[in-house]
Each structure stands twice: as C-alpha cells, then as structure tokens.
C-alpha cells in the first residue's frame, strides 16, 4: 500500500479484517507499506499491521512478494503509480477520484486495458457502493420495484474547513487535489447515484464557489498554521459545488457537495423517485433504507424503514446476527472482499477504471459548466 494517512488507515483495517469474516479464495498478506517519511512510515506499519516498509513506491514494483498495489495517495500521484504498477504486472486498487484530470484518467484506463489482456486487474475505490443499504437499493431498482426513475437528488455535506484559519492543506490545492468539494466528495455521490439507478449523467449545469480564498500555510511538521497564521496562500479549489443534470434513462438529478455545511460532519443523503415507488438512503442511518411502494392502496402508503442487517441482504451473510449494526469502515472490508473474489476468479472487479473515468468526465463537465457561467454542458463520452 502507498500512503498511510486517513485512507491508508481505512484500507489497512479492511485488509486485516476481510479474511476474518469472509471466506476469501486468496489470503491478503500485508507485505509492505510505502511512504516518503521513513520514521513515520515505520510507525504506521507497526500500528496498522504491515510487515515491512519502503520510502520509494517504485521499489514495490521490483518486489516479488507484492502482487497488488493499493494506492491511497493524493490525486496528483494516482496516474503515475497506477500505470507503472499495472505495467509491472501488479493488480491495482486506486482510491477515488481516479485522477486529477481526464487525460490522466484516460491514460490509466488504457493501462488497465493493456494489463487486462495479461490477467492483471484494476479497481477504483468508491466505497459507498459497498454500504449494504445502498447495494440493496440498487437491487430494488434493478428488480423494477420503483418503476422508471424520474428524479434523483443527492447531497454530501461536511464542515471541516468552515474556520477561515484552517490551514492550506493539500486538499485545498488544485495541483495536488485536482478540485475541492467537487472531486473529494462530489465524486462519491455521482458514482453512488449512477450505481443505484444504473444510469449515467449525460449533461450538467453547474455552479462552483470558493468562500475562503486565502488560508494560513501549514507548518511542515504539524500541519497547523505556520507563524501564527501570518503566512498565507491561495485556495485553488472549490469549497462547494451545486449542479443538476440529465440521466441517460430520461430522469433528472440534482447534486450538492460542500465542505461549508456548518454542523454536518459527513452527511450523505440520496433519494430516488420512480414511477411506482421511491427509495432514500441517509449515511447517518447507515444500516437503514427507506422504501415506498407506490402501488399500495393510498391509505396504507408511506415510507417504510428497512433495517438492512438480514443475512439475505448484500454482504450481511458474513457478519453478525440480524439487528447488529455495521459501520462506515466496514464498507472497505466489502471492497477488499469483492476485489479478492474477482482476482481469484479471473474477473474484472467493479467499479472499473472505466467507471472512474466516467465519473471524471462528469466532474470535468461540471467544471467547464461553472467556468462558462452555468451553461448547459454535455458530459464527454468514454
């Protein structure tokens, strides 16, 4: 694995845990953790369960005990690491968004296609697909339980940069992050809604906003503001993204992604309205799905609360008895399970790099629309 911060910790927990709950056809061996700072990487490896360390990711490509490379680094490094790993014959799991630009994402897809011919697999990490309630929602849509999709509305709300004195970390710089709330959290709800509905966005109309345009520079050691906040730098990404779009199945969709929703820590809500029913999911009630059957008699109609913990629900057969709840980190366990199952079966795991590119094309269309004062903008085809 390359990278050991927030996502690195989540992925490490998943690699440690998956084989303890699911009967995996291959056993993950946490061979090596890679990071630029030797001391910090060693400490992280000991804490998270990795056997050895490296400070140069290129060393992973030369190691015979590495069959898969898990990329948990900032977006500006995804393409270089993933392409090199695939060319070296290593399977790749890459965090979202797939890349910082469409060109980088296309290069990664091309590398994945070349590697696929040699039996080398790749997957992009949209973990919210692995929430059992979300997977159940997709199943119900596929079964026609809500009829034809008419409306989709999705929000992803955070507040971690509301304070204008919060430092200028890498996620607030376009050269490293690509975009702000749009790519960091907006990418999640784009993929999530397309996954649940089975439809793709074909065009968008968008608005991007940056509320705090200059922030204190972080210190090299602590990440806190340097010199009491006297040195500042430019924020070069969006703080909030609003856009609506049209789906290729004829439905319409609205999206809101912001890191300025004061009081909201990590709130996602998605609702899908169909011709004969509706579904709604709220991440703050992760083990629940709201379902309305519009074909019932009017006097009995209403949203029902489905507690998604039954063994017949997606992923739940490997876990605890019904009614015992799962958490956010368990979505990464499901990600590992699906990836290992696919590699062992010689199949391409989902979401693919193609899926990651398609989301990147939506993000690109949003940015182009916002730059053109909200003009309707077509999503480029794969």
- pLDDT per residue over 263-292, tens digit each? 999 999 999 999 999 999 999 999 999 999
Whole-number pLDDT of residue 226: 44
What is the residue-wise DSSP string for 42-72? HHHHHHHT-SEEES-THHHHT-TT--EEEE-
Q: What per-residue confidence (pLDDT) applies to 138?
A: 98
Both 135 and 279 in one domain: the answer is: yes
Q: Could you tell me if residue 378 is inside a domain? A: no
- Model confidence over 30-77: pLDDT tens digits? 999 999 999 999 999 999 999 999 999 999 999 999 999 999 999 999
Mean pLDDT value of segment 299-305: 95
In this predicted structure, what is the pLDDT of residue 228? 52
Cα-to-chain-centroid distance, residue 242: 18
155 within domain boundaries: yes
Q: Residue 78 pLDDT more than 70?
A: yes
Say if residues 365 and 203 touch (Cβ distance below 8 Å). Answer: yes
Question: Is residue 337 assigned to a domain?
Answer: no
Both 120 and 143 in a single domain? no
User: How many CB atoms are located within 10 Å of the residue 244 CB?
Assistant: 18
Mean pLDDT in residue range 152-157: 98
Taking the CA of residue 86 as centre, how many other CA atoms within 13 Å lie in the half-sphere pointing to its CB? 28
Q: What's residue 220's pLDDT? A: 63
In the predicted structure, residue 131 carries a pLDDT above the cut 60:
yes
- Give the model's pLDDT for residue 227: 43
Mean pLDDT within 339-358: 98
For residue 5, pLDDT over 90 is answered with: yes
Radius of gyration over every alpha carbon of the chain, rounded to an integer in angstroms: 21
Burial letters 226-243, b for 16+ CB under 10 A, else e? beeeeebeebbbbbbbbb
Please count the other Cβ atoms lying within 10 Å of the Cβ belonging to residue 360: 30
Average pLDDT, the chain: 96
Angle between helices 38-48 and 6-21 (to 10 degrees): 30
CATH of residue 72: 3.40.50.720
Tell me whether residue 258 is in a domain.
yes
Mean of pLDDT values over 313-335? 98
∠145-148-151 over CA atoms, to 5°?
Answer: 105
Answer yes or no: is 344 within a domain. no
Q: Which domain holds residue 195?
A: 129-327+357-371
Is the same domain home to 158 and 217?
A: yes
Structural domains of the chain, count: 2
Percent of the chain with pLDDT over 90: 97
- Summarised one tens digit per residue, pLDDT across range 216-244 is 999 765 455 444 557 999 999 999 999 99
What is the separation of C-alpha 249 from the centre of its chain, rounded to a whole number of angstroms? 23
């Amino acid at each position: 694995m390359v990278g050991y911060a927030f996502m690195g910790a989540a992925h490490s927990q998943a690699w440690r845990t998956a084989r303890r709950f699911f009967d995996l056809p291959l056993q993950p061996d946490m061979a090596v953790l890679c990071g630029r700072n030797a001391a910090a990487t060693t400490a992280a490896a000991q804490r998270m369960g990795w056997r050895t360390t490296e400070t140069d990711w290129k060393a992973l490509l030369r190691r015979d005990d590495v069959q898969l490379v898990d990329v948990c680094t900032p977006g500006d490094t995804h393409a270089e690491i993933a392409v090199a790993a695939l060319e070296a014959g290593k399977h790749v799991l890459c965090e979202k968004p797939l890349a910082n630009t469409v060109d980088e994402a296309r290069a990664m897809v091309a590398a994945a296609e070349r590697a696929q011919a040699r039996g080398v697999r790749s997957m992009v990490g949209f973990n919210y697909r692995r929430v059992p309630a979300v997977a159940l929602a997709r199943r119900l849509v596929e079964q026609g339980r809500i009829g034809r999709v008419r409306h989709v509305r999705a929000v992803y709300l955070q507040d971690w940069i509301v304070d204008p004195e919060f430092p200028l970390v890498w996620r607030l710089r376009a050269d490293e992050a690509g975009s702000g709330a749009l790519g960091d959290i907006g990418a999640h709800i784009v993929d999530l809604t397309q996954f649940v509905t089975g439809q793709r966005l074909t065009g968008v109309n968008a608005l991007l906003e940056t509320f705090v345009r200059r922030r204190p520079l972080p210190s090299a050691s602590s990440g806190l503001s340097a010199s009491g906040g006297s040195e500042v730098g430019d924020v070069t990404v969006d703080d909030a993204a609003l856009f609506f779009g049209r789906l290729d199945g004829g439905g319409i969709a609205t999206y809101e992604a912001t890191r300025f929703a004061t009081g909201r820590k990590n709130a996602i809500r998605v609702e899908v309205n169909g011709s004969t029913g509706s579904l709604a999911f709220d991440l703050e009630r992760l083990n629940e799905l709201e379902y309305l059957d519009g074909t019932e008699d009017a006097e009995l109609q209403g949203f029902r609360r489905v507690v998604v913990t039954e063994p017949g629900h997606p992923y739940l057969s490997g876990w605890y008895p019904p009614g015992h709840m799962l958490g956010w980190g368990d979505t990464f366990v499901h990600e590992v399970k699906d990836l290992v199952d696919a590699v062992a079966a010689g199949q391409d795991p989902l979401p693919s790099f193609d899926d990651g590119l398609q989301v990147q094309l939506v993000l690109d269309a949003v940015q182009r629309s916002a730059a053109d004062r909200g003009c309707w903008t077509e999503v480029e085809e794969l």
